Amino acid sequence: MMSLRLVSLVIASLVLVSGCGIFKGKANKENIEPPTELTDFEASVDVSKMWSAGIGDGERKLSLRQAPAIADGRVFAASPDGLLTAVDAASGKNLWEVESELRWSGGPAVAEGTLVVGTLDGQVVAYNPDSGSERWRAEVSSEVISTPAVARGLTIVRAIDGRVFAFAITTGERRWVYDRGLPQLTLRGNARPVIDNGSVYIGYDGGTVVALKLEDGGVIWEQSIAEGEGKTELERIVDIDGDIVASGSEVFVAAFGSHVVSLDAGSGRTLWTRDMSVYGGVALAEGRILVSDAAGTVWALDRATGASQWRQDGLAHRSLTTPGIVGTHVVVGDFDGYLHWLTLDSGAIAARERVARKPFRATPQVVGDTVYAVTTDGELAAYRTAP
């Protein structure tokens, strides 16, 4: 059964890559829309490159969306070739690195004085973020391709088979496990766990969101936000694989082939639904939900109602990342190594920088006025955005 699931994951991933336009150069199939060609524009914000650094071979075609983690003036990055790196956030200077045979995946998490990262072989390892010395390691039931979450003395890890594990952040002792079945056919990707107000929110393949108690893994509620439609299993895929946002009384979720949804955080009740297919996730800023849909259109939706405030389709079919928010701008990466800044109030293109000739898949990470983004071949770059 496991081998069939792995085959299904690979097939679905290949279909997604073809269908969403993640490719080099021109479209090579009649049913694939070519990426929109970039046009000249007048920049309205000053963006300056601070530094760039190689942090290993990168995820390449593994569909991991490995974002860096930033904390205490340092950037932490992991690569499937076994390299775990810490660099200075202001200069890009290497602070320490660990070379191992572990196949890092999903991206690191750092909080409460601990750096945690999972592997493609189902291991979870914790490090001292100051020195890179190992603190503990534990095993889960399958590969980890999403970033762990850390809060209140626990790290929460989602495995690709649907199980969720809680470990003590100081010792690695397993505290609880939540188990849930998955559809036979899914996309290659998992939404990272999100912790807010003592709850853990998990987005599942099949379009269901589950809220768990952080302290013991008990189910608070579960809500189906989408049901697959179509004649084949492939047509019925409605996975939740991108970033979930939990903010106060609301949880915002997007599903591939389905909807963007606002849920009541306490009960799971649906507050509003917007029809939209999204492979990535959502971002929140100034009363807006920002999302890049599967066709490459960037949307700003009203937080309270889901109504459209603006749309930017000048980047169509460029396989955009989940948006990041930097001040009064939205930043997305594309399949050809470009970062694009859009104004938050109108969606107009405000700046553009090319980092490399390889795709961005991970969500750009933002701290203050600085964007940190990594390509699939391990090129990590930092850009400062003027106020």
Q: Which domains does the chain have, with CATH numbers?
A: 2-385 (2.130.10.10)
Say if pTM beats, i.e. exceeds, 0.85: yes
Radius of gyration for the chain, computed over Cα atoms and rounded to the nearest angstrom: 19
What is the predicted pLDDT for the residue at 5?
Answer: 42
Strand order in the sheet with 199-203: 194-196, 199-203, 208-213, 219-224
The Cα 146–Cα 132 span in angstroms is 21
What is the predicted pLDDT for the residue at 2?
Answer: 38
What is the predicted pLDDT for the residue at 348?
Answer: 98
The Cα 333–Cα 374 span in angstroms is 9
Contact 284, 272 (CB under 8 A): no
Give the residues of the chain that fall short of pLDDT 70: 1-31, 182-189, 227-237
Please give the structure tokens belonging to residue 291. 């999302």
Q: Residue 124 in 3-state DSSP?
A: strand
> How far out from the chain centre does Cα 158 lie?
13
Tens of pLDDT, residue by residue over 288-309, are 999 999 999 999 999 999 999 9
Please give the structure tokens belonging to residue 337. 């190594």
- With the C-alpha atoms ordered 151, 133, 371, 278, is the resulting torsion angle positive or negative? negative
What is the predicted pLDDT for the residue at 255?
Answer: 87
What is the predicted pLDDT for the residue at 27?
Answer: 36
What is the predicted pLDDT for the residue at 279?
Answer: 85
The Cα 33–Cα 55 span in angstroms is 33
